[in-house]
């Protein structure tokens, strides 16, 4: 398990962008927390309305999954990664 000091949030804005870059230089193995809420919103906006509810549920299950195997399970139910609408 990594020390909390090695975790920081990405997507820093303004003057804090420089801080984020310097943190990566000092702690290259640090975990980087992404802005999941905005990423999810951007993904859902690209989908037809009829698919958004199911994909949102699947994305939430992926995000909150305890293991990689559990995170991969919902992908098949959305049809993500292939086909067209």
User: Tens digits of per-residue pLDDT, 5-58?
Assistant: 444 555 554 445 555 566 667 777 776 666 788 889 999 999 999 999 999 998
End-to-end CA distance of the chain: 42
Is 41 in contact with 55 (CB distance < 8 Å)? no
pLDDT at 74: 66
Closest CA to 77 of 59, 85, 67, 63: 59
Q: Which residues contact 37 (CB under 8 A, 6 or more apart)?
A: none
């Amino acid at each position: 398990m990594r020390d909390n000091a090695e975790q920081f949030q990405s997507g820093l804005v303004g003057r804090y962008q420089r801080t984020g870059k310097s943190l990566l230089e000092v702690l290259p193995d640090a975990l980087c927390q992404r802005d999941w809420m905005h990423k999810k919103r951007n993904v859902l906006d690209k989908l037809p309305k009829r698919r958004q509810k199911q994909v949102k549920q699947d994305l939430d299950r992926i995000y909150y999954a305890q293991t990689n195997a559990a995170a991969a399970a919902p992908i098949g139910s959305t049809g993500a990664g292939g086909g067209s609408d």
